[in-house]
Structure 1
């Protein structure tokens, strides 16, 4: 889908907020490839450092398509959070 390619470019160029706005509008409609849109929105939120929203969007993508690359992205974010928050478990 051409719109998703444009959004990928926006994210890569650093226009993350604009990409999220476009994805929000797209996700209010029904279209094929919705899992990829959630995956991209997860990537955008990850770039902003909003880990919770990134994880939520990756989970939505995985629910729609268990073979989505969001599976690996979700695991990567969990690994990062577990690494950085390791001391929280020892308090």
Structure 2
């Protein structure tokens, strides 16, 4: 959990690339616990980069592991943002 707190700080400080790298390493470790939290943080990092698809994919992975976690609301928020910003794309 301490490792995830450090990664959370990377995201807050804007060091998103370092956070993504650390999270991918964390998720590739078979002994990792709190994988739902790691996927949620990875979604946050990609959202901060503006990589909406990767953010949604990682939120969905977190939801799959923990349907009651914060990723559910985060995914809903991203979908609301995308629907608001890209309405014209749907009407082409």
Does residue 1:44 correspond to 2:45, yes or no?
A: yes
Matches within 5 A, 1:58-73: 58-73=59-74
Q: Which residue in the other structure is 2:89 paired with? A: 88
Q: For this pair of structures, how many residues does the alignment match?
A: 91
Structural RMSD (CA): 0.6
SS at match of 2:68: coil
SS at match of 1:7: helix
**2: CA distance between counterparts of 1:23 and 1:61?**
13
**2: CA distance between counterparts of 1:15 and 1:89?**
34
Gap regions ≥5 residues in structure 1: none
**2: CA distance between counterparts of 1:89 and 1:48?**
23
SS at match of 2:6: helix
**Aligned-pair CA distance for 1:16:** 0.4
Scaled by the length of structure 2, what TM-score is found? 0.96
Q: Select between 28-37 and 41-50 the one with higher mean Cα deviation.
A: 28-37
* 1:16-44 C-alpha deviation (Å, 9 max, x unpaired): 00000000100001322100000000000
SS at match of 1:32: coil
**1: CA distance between counterparts of 2:89 and 2:22?**
36
Q: Which residue in the other structure is 1:20 paired with? A: 20
